[in-house]
Structure 1
Amino acid sequence: MVATLEDVASKVFDYVIIGGGTAGLTIAASLTEDTTVTVLVLEAGSSNLDDPKILLSGRFGATVGNPKYDWGHKTLPQKYCNNRIIEWSQGKGLGGTSTMNFWCWIKPPAGDVDAWQGLGNAGWGWKSFQKYSLRSERFIPETGRDPEGVSRDYIEHRGQSGRLITTVANTFTTLNTTFFETAGNLGIPLIADPYGGYTSGAWTAATSMDPRSNWTKSYAATASYIPVAGRQNFTVLTEAICTRVIFSDAKIDDKLVATGVKFIHVSRVCTVNARKEVICSAGTIKTPQILELSGIGSRDVLRRIGVPLKIELPGVGENVQDHVIIGSAMKLKETSGIEETFDSLRDPEFAREQVRLMELGEPNLHRYAFNAFSYTSLSLVSPDEAESYIQRVNRRVQELKTTDRLPPGRAEQYEIQIRALKDNQNPDLQIVAYPGFLSYSALPDASTRYVSLFCVLNHPLSRGTIHSISDNPLDSPEIDPHYFEDPLDLELFAQNLKFARKFAETEPFKSIVASGVDTVMNYTSDEELLEFTRNTARSAGHAIGSASMLPRDKNGVVDPDLRVYGTANLRIADLSIVPLHVAAHTQSLAYAIGEKLADLLKGSK
């Protein structure tokens, strides 16, 4: 199914796509619907197809840190996280990071996406996003309604004919019911449909899981490669590491013309030619590195790594934003009534039995997923602190605007974030129930069952960078997310953690837990909680922004057609183009971006 080097080296394809990940495979599958078009996908990892570590829901996190599946990047020491070096995972293999995400199919609130359009990106508002998100998805509902009263088959805002399969997985019924009742007791509304642009409340999330295939994972490779791999015009080469984009000496309208890609395959340096376009879908971490190695980026960065400057775009590798996450685990009471948790899979014999049951098509734990979510505004989480906090954010932004410390375009982003904070319907924070142990500061007891609440900061003010450290494409880029550099991020996240404790101390959730295992449930002072946060927070794996879609004079890298400024035919399609973060897990964004670029390319033929 996967091509050999001889099928690719020195050959010509209409489109060459760098990266066989979430967006890259989506684009390729769409473009090759036209049999007259040829597409090559270069994927740096292996194929990793039919792999239970990817396919089984109970193996959440099994690929993280494993070099077969994960690039295993690490940040620079983070000054405001007590100089910790923090792991940044990135999917390696066909499907990219869709192979290692936590299966959650979540869309952002409409206002978050409309903000992209407000930053100068015509055609990138909620209406457009929803169009392409629906196109990417095929939702398979279950019959009836779930015990929490949230409709499983509410399909108005769910795609019906896309390639990626989503559904509502089997729920941990008692846990979810308890979670939603507790949310209601704290004033969080229960909403039936979080997929139409309104997500502020508590709800059951869909999952990228295929009930037709023993409830295994649906991801970019099962959606956009395996079903169409036999197309004669669709070529995929794995273990092909892009070193740079090749440009012609001749220009069109004073713009560089991409003519191909140079890559390494098993120590052999090769080239492949593109007749029409080169598309970079290498992800938030790798895309800026490829641009810089191709001579596109900041003059200072390129001088430092010894690469001749072709196009000066200071925004390459800048404006990086990521969600930070902390999980807090609690021991379940024997009387909790929780029927099962993923903790049981730590027992090898039990885990083998669940796989056997799955293969027989019998009920098993791999049919389940965590899907009880709560997205809330600051005013709901901390009504006494909200107004004061927003005033401090506004005061800080206004002060920064009077200095030269803000790069072009940043003030406009901050103004949008201030408006979002003032909106009681905009979810600044999230709490998610996980049926098992999820703590980054403790270890589980082998025979104990747990429930965890994990918290995520949705709209950070801090901005990071990702840059090449040399002209060697095999060197991992320098990743510096600047976590909590803006102290207001730390303050807001601490409010989220305080609310998680309040949640755990509210009935009926309070009645199912015996004790917390970490500081979130046991802190005695605000400073203790802040210090715990500095020592514990990590990446949620939702980094965006390193090749932002913004006007060129606002540090943009691509225009609304996703074309790199100064080029005629080099495009980017991955999460690096997202200019401002959203209150959502990010796989839905990557699929929609891929679908939209495919449409743009078809329209420009």
Structure 2
Amino acid sequence: MNSKEDSLFPFLNQMKGTILTDPSSLSGQSFDIVIVGGGLTGAVAASRLSANSAKKILLVEAGRDSRNDDKIKSFSAYTQAFGDNKYDWDFKTEPQPLSNNKQYPMHQGKGLGGSTSINGGAFTLPPASQIDALGELGNDGWSWDTLKQYNIKFQNYKQPTADQVNKLKVKVDASAHGTNGPVTIGFSDQMYLGPQEDLFIQAQKEAFNAPAFVDLGTGNAGGGSGMIPQYTIPDSGAQRLRVSSATAYLTEDVEKRSNLVILTKTRATKILYASGSHGDAQASGVQLQSGKDGQKYKVNAKNVIVAAGAIRTPVFLEQSGIGDKSIVSGLGVTSRVDLPGVGRNLCEQQKNNVNSGKATQDLGAQSGSPSSAISLNTINQIMKGNSSDVRSYIESNIDQWAQQAVDAGASASKDGLVSQYKLMVKGIFEEQWPVSETFFITLGDSFMQQMWALLSFSRGYVHATSSNTWDAPKLNPRYWSAPIDMDIQVAANRGARRIFNTNAMKSDLQSAESMPGYDKIPQTSDQGDYNQWRDYILNGFESVWHPIGTAAMMPRNLGGVVDSQFKVYGTSNIFVIDSSILPMQLSTHLSSTLYAIAERAADILGKL
């Protein structure tokens, strides 16, 4: 930035290149945009919006700058940050009645980069028609075609090596990928160290007639298996360096911009409003606090962008007076916008494992090597010959499940949820959207298949429990409340057993199922009794930690919270851009789509 530009913001220029941790130094300062949350979408927005040197941007993150911490910087440390409150919000669910009232952790990244700093880093994109479905829900201008340019924009895609192409037949459609974006995606040289990944792909073909993937970045995901890249530096060896939204977008050059301030270890506690305003609620600033008993400070803002994630965003909105009036008033907060969809429509996935015994071959695996062989299976594959009956069953129960969600406080609109369900049914049965994913993971001298139903019909909720931002939210995913979710999970588990029984697995690896094993679930012509599989799943499942939907982009009368331009209904200058805007789950790992959504949001909101 030149001296003329520096002179525009003398106070901010003093902070150039510094990540702050003390909000007192910002008290009373004014910004064009305050971004609440420095995770995936917040980091993208801060980087892109601050490229306009005439705009003053403040990025507020509750966690720390952990990019160089040992638990964060390398994928070899994956899972070590879970439960560590320096890096993980580690939310807890309400007791879940189908699991003997067990409470489950909901791991969500805390710190610059958010969950991209603690996740598994898998790169996939959803079927094109799933993005088209966002438009069909009443969001004008949303489709695969309109998002495709942003998919390309964020990517710095590294082609697989000749050896990787040769050994595992990795195929890439170069036209689907960008090579000049900030986010590096590549095939780690620590991948593919044994024969088992290729044998898993062969087993998928044998069991389900599932073809090998061509490229999961093309919008043609479904009904296949193959190897996927990660958000990693390909030639970083055993370190397997992580690429997060913070490492990719908040680079040294970005941090040095004199019009950008990054404030960490500080929570935005609520939105402040312009006094005497009429009509739509108008934000005038944000209140900040760096500790539960710390002093509160005010910064002024022309616009507020909320990017705090599907759990924190609705809580922040409610504590700012935006949400169901009865819930907001119950917190002792003045209601600013009566918006019943806030915190409702929570949609999450669940996973569990089926394990093998010791393999007879050397698997060539090293501890912490990537689990990058996956399958994405359709309803026709995992429910062979039964899919038409399954469709009839779902369609006959849509109305009942939607009403039950409304009655439980998990949906603001029966009609809105029914409209989601109908699009899901169309996609599952006519577009062949994948309904289950399996990760094939090597465990030393054995391996496991980790399955989850991708397109949850169950809906839950998350709400603030007080006006105090430091109090834990009430989080209830209502796991398995729509029975079809369990039906699909059982089918996926039976499918895993079928994989272990293929010639590819039995003849070459000679490794039988060890968990649950035939002693616990005896073999039948259906690959085991349904009720026994159900009990096994309920006793061993966990969240996938992909929550969405709690500030859904949908028409307001259908339970929506934001419009197609990310603006919160009933406000003039408050926006939400994170995973909470997705009304339905996608057949993908969310990060890739969220990068594209954040890039699109930055383009739209850059006009503010």
- Report the TM-score when normalising by structure 2: 0.89
Question: Once the two structures are aligned, what percentage of the paired residues are identical?
Answer: 26
1:265 corresponds in structure 2 to 290
- Code of the residue aligned with 2:371 in structure 1: it is F
Instruction: Report the CA distance between 1:518 and its aligned residue.
Output: 2.2
| Preserved contact between residue 373 and residue 430 of structure 1 (Cα < 8 Å) | yes
**d(CA) in 1 for partners of 2:389 and 2:287?**
53
Instruction: Report the CA distance between 1:85 and its aligned residue.
Output: 0.7
**d(CA) in 2 for partners of 1:384 and 1:153?**
33
| Preserved contact between residue 37 and residue 62 of structure 2 (Cα < 8 Å) | yes
Q: 1:425 aligns with which of 421, 432, 438?
A: 432
**d(CA) in 2 for partners of 1:4 and 1:388?**
57
Higher mean displacement: 173-182 or 148-157: 148-157
Instruction: Report the CA distance between 1:526 and its aligned residue.
Output: 2.0
Higher mean displacement: 218-227 or 562-571: 218-227
2:303 corresponds in structure 1 to 277
Instruction: Report the CA distance between 1:103 and its aligned residue.
Output: 0.8
| Preserved contact between residue 141 and residue 152 of structure 1 (Cα < 8 Å) | no
Answering whether residue 497 of structure 2 is matched by residue 501 of structure 1, we say yes
Q: 2:243 aligns with which of 218, 225, 230?
A: 218
Higher mean displacement: 93-102 or 140-149: 140-149
- Report the TM-score when normalising by structure 1: 0.90
Change beyond 3 A, Cα 1:182–1:134: same
**d(CA) in 1 for partners of 2:552 and 2:379?**
27
Q: 2:345 aligns with which of 305, 319, 322?
A: 319
Change beyond 3 A, Cα 1:179–1:50: same
Q: 1:411 aligns with which of 413, 418, 427?
A: 418
Q: 1:541 aligns with which of 542, 545, 558?
A: 545
Q: 1:115 aligns with which of 116, 130, 133?
A: 133
Secondary structure of residue in 2 paired with 1:156: helix
1:2 corresponds in structure 2 to 19
1:52 corresponds in structure 2 to 70
**d(CA) in 2 for partners of 1:288 and 1:23?**
16
| Preserved contact between residue 80 and residue 482 of structure 1 (Cα < 8 Å) | no
**d(CA) in 1 for partners of 2:264 and 2:401?**
46
| Preserved contact between residue 463 and residue 481 of structure 1 (Cα < 8 Å) | yes
**d(CA) in 2 for partners of 1:399 and 1:579?**
19
Change beyond 3 A, Cα 1:583–1:402: closer
**d(CA) in 2 for partners of 1:298 and 1:125?**
30
| Preserved contact between residue 40 and residue 595 of structure 2 (Cα < 8 Å) | yes
- Code of the residue aligned with 1:150 in structure 2: it is K
**d(CA) in 1 for partners of 2:53 and 2:563?**
29
**d(CA) in 2 for partners of 1:393 and 1:153?**
36
**d(CA) in 2 for partners of 1:401 and 1:581?**
16
- Code of the residue aligned with 1:563 in structure 2: it is K
1:197 corresponds in structure 2 to 219
Correspondence list, 1:108-507, <5 A: 108-144=126-162, 145-151=164-170, 153-170=172-189, 171-172=191-192, 173-186=194-207, 187-200=209-222, 201-211=224-234, 215-227=240-252, 228-251=254-277, 254-266=279-291, 267-333=293-359, 335-342=360-367, 368-398=369-399, 407-423=414-430, 425-436=432-443, 449-507=445-503
Change beyond 3 A, Cα 1:308–1:203: same
| Preserved contact between residue 188 and residue 233 of structure 2 (Cα < 8 Å) | no
Q: Which runs of 5+ in 2 are unaligned?
A: 1-17, 408-412, 523-528
| Preserved contact between residue 26 and residue 299 of structure 2 (Cα < 8 Å) | no
Q: How many residues align?
A: 567
Correspondence list, 1:527-538, <5 A: 527-538=531-542
CA deviation profile, 1:79-131 (whole Å, cap 9, x unmatched) = 12332211101111111111111010111111111111110011221112222
Change beyond 3 A, Cα 1:520–1:13: farther
**d(CA) in 2 for partners of 1:268 and 1:82?**
39
Change beyond 3 A, Cα 1:274–1:131: farther
Secondary structure of residue in 2 paired with 1:456: strand
Instruction: Report the CA distance between 1:428 and its aligned residue.
Output: 1.0
| Preserved contact between residue 182 and residue 507 of structure 1 (Cα < 8 Å) | yes
1:559 corresponds in structure 2 to 563
Higher mean displacement: 279-288 or 215-224: 215-224
1:573 corresponds in structure 2 to 577
1:356 corresponds in structure 2 to none
Instruction: Report the CA distance between 1:513 and its aligned residue.
Output: 5.2
**d(CA) in 1 for partners of 2:559 and 2:579?**
16
CA deviation profile, 1:504-546 (whole Å, cap 9, x unmatched) = 1112123425343422765123211101111222110111000
| Preserved contact between residue 575 and residue 589 of structure 1 (Cα < 8 Å) | no
Higher mean displacement: 139-148 or 384-393: 139-148
| Preserved contact between residue 329 and residue 452 of structure 1 (Cα < 8 Å) | yes
| Preserved contact between residue 47 and residue 249 of structure 2 (Cα < 8 Å) | yes
| Preserved contact between residue 148 and residue 176 of structure 1 (Cα < 8 Å) | no
Secondary structure of residue in 2 paired with 1:129: helix
Instruction: Report the CA distance between 1:424 and its aligned residue.
Output: 6.0
CA deviation profile, 1:40-64 (whole Å, cap 9, x unmatched) = 1111011112122112222221111
**d(CA) in 2 for partners of 1:411 and 1:426?**
18
| Preserved contact between residue 109 and residue 115 of structure 2 (Cα < 8 Å) | yes
- Code of the residue aligned with 1:461 in structure 2: it is F
CA deviation profile, 1:302-345 (whole Å, cap 9, x unmatched) = 12222111100000000110111112222332x32311142xx6
Secondary structure of residue in 1 paired with 2:175: coil
**d(CA) in 1 for partners of 2:511 and 2:203?**
16
1:354 corresponds in structure 2 to none
| Preserved contact between residue 12 and residue 272 of structure 1 (Cα < 8 Å) | no
**d(CA) in 1 for partners of 2:430 and 2:77?**
38
Instruction: Report the CA distance between 1:268 and its aligned residue.
Output: 2.6
**d(CA) in 2 for partners of 1:250 and 1:120?**
33
Q: Which runs of 5+ in 1 are unaligned?
A: 346-367, 437-447
CA deviation profile, 1:250-288 (whole Å, cap 9, x unmatched) = 436x11111111121144333343443110100000000
**d(CA) in 2 for partners of 1:460 and 1:537?**
15
2:521 corresponds in structure 1 to 523
- Code of the residue aligned with 2:136 in structure 1: it is G
CA deviation profile, 1:468-514 (whole Å, cap 9, x unmatched) = 11111101111100111111211111001110110111121234253
**d(CA) in 2 for partners of 1:216 and 1:152?**
23
Secondary structure of residue in 2 paired with 1:383: coil
Secondary structure of residue in 2 paired with 1:209: coil
Change beyond 3 A, Cα 1:557–1:402: closer
**d(CA) in 2 for partners of 1:175 and 1:250?**
67
